[in-house]
Structure 1
Amino acid sequence: MDQSNSSPSDLTQLVRYVLEIKSLHDDAAIVRVREVLTGLGLLVDRVEGNEVEVAAGHSAKPVTDDIDKALRKAGFELVNFTPTVG
């Protein structure tokens, strides 16, 4: 299969988001939030304090409501959801 004709738009691009989540106070909470987010198809890049940076394939944009519902079900609160550049 010749892929020399593939354009950059054919490739999946990662889109990054910063989530502010309440109650990330210990290792168990961080592990649980990672599980919830990866279960939604997100890649967790970093967790610092109450901030979690995630990435998603451009074609699989996360829906804020889905993230919020999944986190609430696990006992966490999504405070802020910010797309990032770069």
Structure 2
Amino acid sequence: MKTIYNSADEIPHILIRVINAITLSENKDELRSAINKIAEETELDKFFAYGYGAHHFWLKHRKLSNGEPKEHRLLKVEF
């Protein structure tokens, strides 16, 4: 189990929005659209790194010291 680092008040709220987007999306396109909206409305890119593979979405914490993604994924969603 990975630890959620709550180094800023926004982190839990952003993470909950991402989890909600994952659970409510019917397919990859809906998830991509929802994540883009979250990125526009929050500081998702500041606190998290994320991306898509051929059949999955992944999310990692960013190091606040330099913005680099941490080594291990927080979430991996297969579709």
Larger Rg: 1
Higher strand share: 1
TM-score by length of 2: 0.31
| Structure with more contact order per residue of length (Cα contacts < 8 Å, sep ≥ 6) | 1
